[in-house]
């Protein structure tokens, strides 16, 4: 069907609008219902999807930081019993107030609903004291080899107003690689990707101040506020 | 086995929950998809979060890859682009399509594998965009890569919403006719 005066009645146009995400939700749902029933419409949609995807050909690939894959894998393949809960039990919190125990119990039953927050690893193989020279910013870091995360605890200092603190790993003469932006909470666990794990031993951690959300370029852009050598325990 | 078969095979293995295949698929495709997501979102932290969501979707939907008959890279790019556009459209109304911001993201050369895969298609696409009325190719590009809506375009072209819709639909029809020749 072709109708120059009423292009909205042409399935070729409708398929294009759907592929571009221009249809309101109701019309998009109606189109999807038709897609399931009509092979010709599926072919029209596929033709648009292929052609439009061609617009990304000129976009340069950018290697994402290791933390992305680590984050995906921890979301998809997380262990049945996350280590942080075990850590809480072994830390002796079971003997604390009944209310706390109840929260932990609920948290175990409903992972992700109530998160008691990260706990320090019990026996970290690698640690670092990332500090400013005047100790105005001190972040303690400990690597947890069981779930490949870096536990960080901010003991002193904070991000300058309107800025974020980003943690970097520097291995040898290599360029700094982001381990992630430190959250406002004092404690956090940052995933460490497979490629970065090997670089931790003997590496240096550094904290720079960056725009909210972290460096837009993938390299430190702000002032380096603190550094610390990673050491074996 | 060429790159396309390879990725198709990996998606098929991901569909049966093969973690090693998932890691390989990520290794082969994440730089391309991250480039696309960065282009749409222009915010590194947001793009990293979005990329995580995208690969979680890929894992969850790999068994339905065949349904729409897309090539494997198109399927992956479409998931990435659509998710990134959703993220961008959910943002609080700021920087609605600032042209300088868009220009600030460099469009570098594509990877050789994509160049080889689509060289002819790419030329055809450029030629057909060239046949559209001035501004309309840019409008389609902004919708696809920046998630602009009819309302955004109407504001940009300073025309009523219905006029914009009619214009763009005509351009889509011309584009489809040209691309199908």
Give domain B1-91's CATH architecture. Answer: Orthogonal Bundle (1.10)
Question: To the nearest whole angstrom, how far is the Cα of A16 from the nearest Cα of chain B?
Answer: 7
Distance, first Cα to last Cα, chain B = 30
Report, as an integer, the average pLDDT of B5-10: 86
Q: Do A75 and B43 touch (CB under 8 A)?
A: no
User: Are A210 and A138 contained in the same domain?
Assistant: yes
Instruction: Let me know if residue A52 belongs to a domain.
Output: yes
User: Are A140 and A94 contained in the same domain?
Assistant: no
Residue A196 CB burial class (10 angstroms; 0-12, 13-18, ≥19): buried
Q: Of A189-203, B19-33, B101-115, which has the strongest mean pLDDT?
A: B19-33
pLDDT value, residue A193: 81
Q: Where are the domains of chain B?
A: 1-91, 108-181
pLDDT value, residue B3: 64
Tell me if chain A has a CB within 8 Å of the CB of B180. yes
Look at A171 and B44; give whichever has higher pLDDT.
B44
Tell me if chain A has a CB within 8 Å of the CB of B163. no
Nearest residue to A207 via CA among A129, A110, A148: A129
Q: Residue B149: its chain A contacts at CB < 8 A?
A: 22
Q: DSSP per residue over chain B, as a string? A: --HHHHHHHHHHHHHTT-HHHHHHHHHHHHHHHHHHHHHHH--HHHHHHHHHHHHHHHHHHGGGGGGGT--HHHHHHHHHHHHHHHHHHHS-S-STT-HHHHHTS---PPPHHHHHHHHHHHHHHHHHHHTSPTTHHHHHHHHHHH---HHHHHHHHTS-HHHHHHHHHHHHHHHHHHHT-
Contacts of A194 (CB under 8 A, 6+ apart): A66, A69, A70, A148
Q: Which residue do the tokens 């609080």 mark?
A: B92
Instruction: Let me know if residue A120 belongs to a domain.
Output: no
User: Are A226 and A151 contained in the same domain?
Assistant: yes
Identify the CATH number of the domain in which residue A193 sits. Answer: 2.60.40.200
User: Are A228 and A139 contained in the same domain?
Assistant: yes
pLDDT value, residue A180: 85
**Domain count within chain A:** 3
| Per-residue confidence band for A4, with pLDDT thresholds at 50, 70 and 90 | low
Instruction: Let me know if residue A2 belongs to a domain.
Output: no
Tell me if chain A has a CB within 8 Å of the CB of B55. yes
Our CA angle for A166, A192, B29, nearest 5°, is 100
Report, as an integer, the average pLDDT of B136-148: 93
CA distance A211 to A222: 8
Report, as an integer, the average pLDDT of B159-180: 94
* pLDDT tens by residue, B68-98: 789 999 999 999 999 999 999 988 765 444 4
- Residue A224, pLDDT > 50, answer yes
User: Are A175 and A198 contained in the same domain?
Assistant: yes
Report, as an integer, the average pLDDT of A193-212: 86
User: Are A24 and A77 contained in the same domain?
Assistant: no
Q: Residue B35: its chain A contacts at CB < 8 A?
A: 56, 59-62
User: Are A144 and A202 contained in the same domain?
Assistant: yes
Instruction: Let me know if residue A12 belongs to a domain.
Output: yes
Cβ atoms of A171 and A182 within 8 Å: the answer is no
User: Are A162 and A94 contained in the same domain?
Assistant: no
Instruction: Let me know if residue A115 belongs to a domain.
Output: no
Instruction: Let me know if residue A71 belongs to a domain.
Output: yes
Tell me: domain B108-181, CATH 1.10.287.130, correct? no
Quote the tokens at residue A118.
């990260």
CA distance B152 to B149: 5
Instruction: Let me know if residue A61 belongs to a domain.
Output: no
User: Are A154 and A195 contained in the same domain?
Assistant: yes
Going from the C-alpha of B78 to that of each of A145, A190, A194, A202, B150, the distances in angstroms are 36, 29, 28, 42, 20
Q: Do B44 and A71 touch (CB under 8 A)?
A: no
pLDDT value, residue B73: 95
Going from the C-alpha of B1 to that of each of B4, B5, B16, B69, the distances in angstroms are 8, 6, 21, 20
Please give the distance of CA B68 from its chain centroid, rounded to a whole number: 16
| Per-residue confidence band for A94, with pLDDT thresholds at 50, 70 and 90 | very low
Residue A98 domain boundaries:
66-109
| Per-residue confidence band for A77, with pLDDT thresholds at 50, 70 and 90 | confident
Instruction: Let me know if residue A17 belongs to a domain.
Output: yes
């Amino acid at each position: 069907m072709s109708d120059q005066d009423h292009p909205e009645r042409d399935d070729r146009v409708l398929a294009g609008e759907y592929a571009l995400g221009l249809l309101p939700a109701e019309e998009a749902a109606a189109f999807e219902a038709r897609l399931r029933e009509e092979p010709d419409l599926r072919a029209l949609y596929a033709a648009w999807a292929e052609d439009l995807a061609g617009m990304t050909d000129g976009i340069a690939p950018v290697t994402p930081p290791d933390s992305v894959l680590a984050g995906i894998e921890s979301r998809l393949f997380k262990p049945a019993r996350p280590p942080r809960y075990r850590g809480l039990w072994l830390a002796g919190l079971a003997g604390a107030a009944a209310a706390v125990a109840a929260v932990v119990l609920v948290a175990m039953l409903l992972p992700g609903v109530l998160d008691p927050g990260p706990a320090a690893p019990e026996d970290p193989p690698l640690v670092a004291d990332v500090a400013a020279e005047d100790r105005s910013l001190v972040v303690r870091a400990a690597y947890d080899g069981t779930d490949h995360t870096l536990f960080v605890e901010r003991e002193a200092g904070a991000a300058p107003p309107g800025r974020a603190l980003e943690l970097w790993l520097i291995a040898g003469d290599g360029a700094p690689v982001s381990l992630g932006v430190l959250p406002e909470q004092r404690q956090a666990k940052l995933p460490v990707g497979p490629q970065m794990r090997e670089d931790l031993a003997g590496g240096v951690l550094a904290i720079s101040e960056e725009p909210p959300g972290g460096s837009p370029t993938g390299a430190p852009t702000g002032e380096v506020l603190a550094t610390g050598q990673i050491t074996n325990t | 086995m060429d790159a396309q078969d390879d990725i198709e095979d990996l998606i098929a293995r991901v569909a049966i929950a093969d973690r090693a295949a998932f890691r390989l698929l990520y290794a082969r495709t994440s730089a391309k998809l991250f480039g696309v997501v960065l282009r749409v979102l222009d915010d590194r932290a947001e793009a990293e979060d979005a990329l995580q969501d995208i690969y979680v979707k890929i894992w969850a939907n790999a068994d339905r890859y065949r349904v729409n008959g897309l090539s494997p890279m198109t399927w992956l790019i479409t998931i990435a682009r659509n998710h990134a556009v959703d993220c961008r459209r959910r943002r609080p109304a700021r920087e609605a399509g600032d042209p300088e911001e868009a220009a600030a993201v460099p469009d570098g050369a594509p990877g050789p594998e994509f160049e080889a895969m689509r060289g002819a298609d790419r030329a055809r696409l450029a030629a057909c965009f060239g046949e559209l009325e001035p501004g309309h190719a840019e409008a389609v590009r902004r919708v696809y890569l920046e998630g602009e809506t009819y309302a955004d375009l109407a504001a940009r072209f300073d025309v009523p919403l219905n006029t914009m819709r009619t214009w763009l639909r005509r351009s889509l029809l011309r584009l489809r006719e040209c691309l199908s020749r």
